[in-house]
Amino acid sequence: MSQFEDRQKGQEAKFAFDAEKKFKAEARRNKLMGIWAAELMSLTGEDAKAYAAEVVAADFEEAGDEDVFRKVSSDLKAKGLNISDEQVRQKMQQLKLTANEQIAAEG
């Protein structure tokens, strides 16, 4: 029975580790999205940091990525920037890969 319990504990630990890694990568992606959008909107310094934090916070509105997408896309459009929804989605995908690489490199 001990071997079964050890295996179960190992699987639980791996699940927790994977979930934490996924959460960190999503938060990092959202921060990078915020920085990217802030640059497009000509925000700098503390304003850019504050906007990136708003994007990270937007992810807690609902499950999935749509809340982040809506925030960034609508903010870009409100500033009169001609950035398509497809460009925003592509950037989100690109930054997801970047965030995953950064998190993996950090250990």
Q: 32-45: per-residue pLDDT in tens? A: 999 999 999 999 99
Per-residue model confidence as pLDDT tens digits over 57-80: 999 888 889 999 999 999 999 999
**Alpha carbon of 56 to those of 2, 13, 29, 41: distances in Å?**
42, 26, 9, 17
What residue segments make up the domains of the chain, in order of their start?
25-106
CA 46 – CA 63 distance, rounded (Å): 28
Q: What confidence tier does 1 reach under pLDDT thresholds 50, 70, 90?
A: low
Please report the DSSP string for 24-42 in residue order. HHHHHHHHHHHHHHHHHTT
DSSP label at residue 84? -
> Which pTM value belongs to this model?
0.85
The CATH homologous superfamily to which domain 25-106 belongs is Domain of unknown function DUF1476 (1.10.790.20)
